[in-house]
Structure 1
Amino acid sequence: MKQFDTLTLSTQGSALILTVDQPKSLNALAKEVVNDLESFLDWFETTGYEYRGLIITGAGEKSFVAGANIVQMNSMDEATFTAYAKQMHAVTERLESLHVPVIAAVNGFALGGGCELALACDFIYASERASFGQPEVNLGLVPGFGGMVRLPRRVGNAMARELIFTGRRIKAEEALRIGLANRVVPAEQLLDVAVAAIEEAAAVSPTAISIAKRAMVSMDGLDTHQGLGREVDAFLQAYHTADSVEGRSAFVEKRSPVFPGN
């Protein structure tokens, strides 16, 4: 398995677990971490088809990803600062378009860039000690890794504005209540629950998941009529796959399907 300086990879069942492994900095998104995330995606997109899902978490008990690396940012000129933000934009967009489900297993702080990394994942599962926030206004900044785009889609425009304008940190239970987190579980169960969700996805058609995921991302910002047009396109695309032929045949024949994955 590929090695990285700031990330560690492990497997559990059908899932690949990516851990941001910089606990001394609370797993902050230093430039080196962002570079490794980009390299990881290069590797996963070309060789990761044996895995049926990706779980992203943070090393240690305190932090998922605490945010951007402010010390590094403070010394960046405008060109470097812009490139840093655009590189994280590219990472989050690629996570959204991966062919498999991506789960953020938030084990602690998910602040600023950490919250934005989680928002780029399909599901957010949180431990009871997790906390979330977009505290950039405390530094005279605004979210720059996708928070102003994705947070309103998760929690609604009014709640997103409140969180961004106040910089308020919220605990896991509030994140669940407002729709930011999908589940809240005891810390010791977090990875097992995330792996179990990947195993559920592994039992169905991987092709259908991939088509649905990419179609839903493409529908963001469309009105209902436009979105329904995209849905028809995706429905037809899925219908003509080998997985669909197998799934429909298995249903008629009253047996369990064996999806070929294409």
Structure 2
Amino acid sequence: MYQTINTTIENNTLFIYINRPDKMNALNQQVMAELALAIDEVYKNQEIKSAVITGTGEKAFVAGADISEFLRLSPQQAVELANKGHMIFKRIEDSPKPIIAAVNGFALGGGCELAMACHFRIAATNAKFGQPEVNLGIIPGYGGTQRLTALIGKGKAMELMMTADMINAQDALQWGLVNHVVAPEELLTKAKEILAKIHAKAPLAIARVIKCTNGAIDKDIDGYELEINEFGACFSTKDMQEGAAAFIEKRPASFIGE
């Protein structure tokens, strides 16, 4: 089905591998199109409760965009390309099911933007992050200026994007860009461990946490009002009744996503 990504489902998690190791898993239009299809599968397939995005090989998560495609773009075509990228990454960000980036190497340019579109990030010790677009006379085009600023703050984001420097996994952890740093061989194990905890929670509540947390950085949304309304909506669910009953009865809850 796919030529530039691989997918497997394990324990209700869809693992998406960007699979262009000879190109350091660089994003081209075909990768983006196939990634969009995989994300559609996350939304539609009831068997899937979460997803992990990572790269094939040991060197790169995604080392950037395929620059060879840029050379023939007009300004209008570049806008269209950026719009497509924004739409796909927003679908990742807005997914009602958790999507984790397991960063197994270089996450530069579009790769860093892809990682930031995920709900949170786990990095291998050899991971490197950066937005080096100014080296090419351009800027991040898939939401990087916005998400990087939201994650690490304006000052650090400005410096990172204007110098085109890379930061290592430990700096990324200290700056708040990633949640955990683990040995490369433990990367997917850590993702599975976290997702096992999330899978045990109420799926509709998880979806509402994602929606409201994203609302905190959406200038068009009153995040507090959104939270109030989503809190109220939880009380119409069977899972809320089950969760409250399980708490009172001192037993594990059994959620059904209704």
TM-score, normalisation: structure 2: 0.96
Bigger mean CA offset, 99-108 vs 233-242: 233-242
Give the Å deviation of 1:210. 0.6
Tell me, which stretches of 5 or more residues in structure 2 are unaligned?
A: none
Bigger mean CA offset, 252-261 vs 106-115: 252-261
Secondary structure class of the residue paired with 1:54: strand
CA distance in 2, matches of 1:127, 1:7: 20
Report the residue type matching 1:42 in the other structure: D
Give the Å deviation of 1:242. 1.2
Report the residue type matching 1:12 in the other structure: E
Q: Is the 8 A contact 2:14 2:42 kept in 1?
A: no
Aligned equivalent of 1:239: 235
Secondary structure class of the residue paired with 1:129: coil
Secondary structure class of the residue paired with 1:124: strand
Aligned equivalent of 1:167: 164
Report the residue type matching 1:34 in the other structure: M
**Is it true that 1:215 corresponds to 2:212 in the alignment?**
yes
CA distance in 1, matches of 2:227, 2:219: 11
Out of 19, 24, 36, the residue aligned to residue 26 of structure 1 is: 24
Tell me, which stretches of 5 or more residues in structure 1 are unaligned?
A: none
CA distance in 1, matches of 2:99, 2:204: 15
**Is it true that 1:230 corresponds to 2:216 in the alignment?**
no
Equivalent residues in 2 for 1:89-100, closer than 5 Å: 89-100=86-97
Out of 173, 188, 191, the residue aligned to residue 188 of structure 2 is: 191
Q: Is the 8 A contact 2:21 2:56 kept in 1?
A: yes
CA distance in 2, matches of 1:222, 1:70: 32
Give the Å deviation of 1:199. 0.6
**Aligned-pair Cα RMSD in Å:** 1.5
Give the Å deviation of 1:78. 2.7
**Is it true that 1:80 corresponds to 2:77 in the alignment?**
yes
Give the Å deviation of 1:10. 1.3
Report the residue type matching 1:71 in the other structure: S
Q: Is the 8 A contact 1:8 1:21 kept in 2?
A: yes
> For residues 227-247 of structure 1, what are the alpha-carbon distances to aligned partners after superposition, in whole Å with 9 as ceiling and x for unaligned?
222211111111221111110
Report the residue type matching 1:20 in the other structure: I
Q: Is the 8 A contact 1:120 1:150 kept in 2?
A: yes
Out of 41, 59, 69, the residue aligned to residue 43 of structure 1 is: 41
> For residues 10-48 of structure 1, what are the alpha-carbon distances to aligned partners after superposition, in whole Å with 9 as ceiling and x for unaligned?
12323211000011111111111011111222333222x
Q: Is the 8 A contact 2:42 2:48 kept in 1?
A: no
Secondary structure class of the residue paired with 1:8: strand
Displaced runs of 4+ in structure 1, greater than 6 A?
none
CA distance in 2, matches of 1:134, 1:235: 37
Aligned equivalent of 1:255: 251
Report the residue type matching 1:26 in the other structure: M
Equivalent residues in 2 for 1:103-122, closer than 5 Å: 103-122=100-119
TM-score, normalisation: structure 1: 0.95
**Is it true that 1:158 corresponds to 2:155 in the alignment?**
yes
Give the Å deviation of 1:87. 0.8
Give the Å deviation of 1:226. 3.3
